Structure 1
């Protein structure tokens, strides 16, 4: 293992993503070079339909890549068994949860599934991990509530707690601020930033909240029509990357404030 890649939690080499049928190949993006280190908060941003979900599905082994390689902790993603991958990477997806009749504690405890025996009995260590996850996400007071009683913001915190209870090096979230108001969008992303600092885990999330991601992320992955660029937000701003995300007829990126503005 080279020194350069020693602390890489997620890395890609010449990754090409898209869809393949028997007759043709539809390429979404190619030559994707990503390297995420331990203890980084990383935002994946881009315009609607640019391919963010396709990239996340490929990175999480839900969808096959068209070419290139993906490494998790310097091991090829394709070499992981499903059980080992579940102990290395946890996912928070936008799909509705299977049963909202579960209590908050029960749902968070599902994160321990990769470690429990075949009947799912929680050990003292499992219970401690669940309690710790509830504490880190500030939802201890909700643990006995049923999930159907929760607001969207509360439920999102519960799903993040479940991923924490899974105790993986890498947590990947698909649009964690969907359906939330401005305050709770900021709250969830600030929570993710704090979790990175408190746990040392690497967290990758996709989002439309580009302004917030610029303020909070250690690194960003920006998908443009021409390329996928990974860098620190300040470097992306200085390179003018955010100017290329959207047509300039309606909104422009203000490099001084780091915000998008409506064109007058």
Structure 2
């Protein structure tokens, strides 16, 4: 005599509630798996823009729209004149030898060597400084140098984002600090030059730097002050990439050499 509900396929037929429960469980499992997949893809997308354009020897700088202004108006320093560069770790060569990177002269020293003629370059940079901190640290009016180069912006942008505990400086505050520095130099009779924050090696860092680079260009136009852009230097040195250290933010030895040589050519109008 056959069993009424002994076999599994008959059991499912005899117990529709169990069958429905399994179907619902399967749908829930598939939905959770789909949600997890979307979350994983979203996290991967967020991390992807953080990943630098790494190469052997460092990171490749990404192309950037030039913010240069009035660079053709620069005056070539005469024999024995002096240049002062105010800024952050880009000026001091911070992180150049990170992860076994090659050591070399910072761009200010390369500029000095390229100009020759007993022209000296004073480096007044402090790692981590914003334009406001630089304003508090240095009195540009006391500078004895005939040319003053003001090179802030990278730390103002807090380019590491959530990877660091720093907050970006509001762009209007950044511009105001730069304007005060430039005005102090102009009042002292100095040739004032802005140097833009160098382009970075990851798209998310570039996104954070972009408003500050643009603000510097705008300020240069407002004050009639020349703006020099390392992005133009890096574009001219494309064959020397990578120009950044592995952190995709600081220049390596090749980057400093590239920028220093390019600056010398801009100051004394040497054709590319």
Interval of TM-score (by shorter of Structure 1 and Structure 2): 0.3 to 0.5
TM-score calculated relative to the size of structure 2: 0.32
Hey, which of these two has a bigger chunk of helix by percent? 2
TM-score calculated relative to the size of structure 1: 0.33
Which protein has the larger Cα radius of gyration, Structure 1 or Structure 2?
2
Hey, which of these two has a bigger chunk of strand by percent? 1
